[in-house]
Amino acid sequence: MEYRKLGNTDLELSVITYGAFAIGGNMWGGNEKQDSINSIHASLDHGVTTIDTAPFYGFGLSEEMIGEAIKGKDRTKIQLLTKFGLVWDGSNNGKGEFFFDAEDEGRKIPVYKYASKANVIREAEESLKRLGTDYIDLLQLHWPDNTTPISETMEAMEMLIQQGKIRAAGVSNYSVDQLKEASRTLKVASNQVAYSMLNRAIEKDLVPYSLETETGIIVYSPMERGLLTGKYFRDSKLKENDHRNGYFTQFDLPKVEAFLKAIEPIAQAKGATLSQLVLRWTALQPGVSVVLAGARNAEQAIVNAQAMNFQLNEEELKLINDELGKI
């Protein structure tokens, strides 16, 4: 495993970071608790020291399982990253910005973006309790809330830093303009954004800005929710309540399948899987600090961790990029 400093902080994170969205169950067709806990243990055993989660993942379940999984382990050797700002339990009293209706066991649950000072503090306290810890390494705003001044949200996180409840403050899904506005109040450590071989929009302006300002980039959805593993093309049947049934329709699937077939020989030559090749390529892109990779069981977790066990030379990277240009 490789480790990188996050932005301008002293946080050292594992380049492959455990992404804990899927183990929350909601929107992913469910998951078994013991499998989820085993996947966390396997990650830690194979050098993945960083875990990224959020209260919204499973409506608190993801954080609770992480807290259970790390209980009794050396907390100083684990970096916990979580978020705030998506409210589903009505505690926002109708305030904030309506985001979407989530589904939980057939029920529709309205989710709001809400990042007021009081809500930041409330959610941080609840996350600390669910995670079973007295500090969070990186607290991130989950999505921008257009009803709350950015300065108010940043002031709340700065207060939590001063109190020792969080080590660093980050954001997610922020534009360059939003990062600039936030920097007037607080220098954020990182921005967590979607990035993959099929979604490279951040390369235009966010990556140059982040490199210039020493702002870390945490990448989510590098596998495009499993599409780039190639498994979908071998067994395309997903559970009916799996959100990916609709998500995958945005891509030209025949071209994606052809691309994966074209780069698979590189993976085979490395003794690696397609998913490992995709993760390794992503980790090598300019500005990328760490790459989130989800796992539903121990086997998947180990495969993700081992993506850092090989290198890609310039010729191999060029071949991959040339094939990407055909999509």
Q: Which residues are catalytic?
A: 57
CA terminus-to-terminus distance, the chain: 31
Integer Cα distance of 135 and 137 in angstroms: 6
Integer Cα distance of 82 and 62 in angstroms: 10
Pairing of strands 107-113, 50-52: unpaired
- Order of all β-strands in the sheet with 86-87: 86-87, 107-113, 97-104
String of DSSP letters for 19-63: E-SGGG-TTTT---HHHHHHHHHHHHHTT--EEE--TTTTTTHHH
- Copy the structure tokens of residue 47: 């050098």
Q: Which of 309, 289, 227, 310 is nearest to 52 (CA)?
A: 289
- DSSP secondary structure code for residue 285 in this structure: S
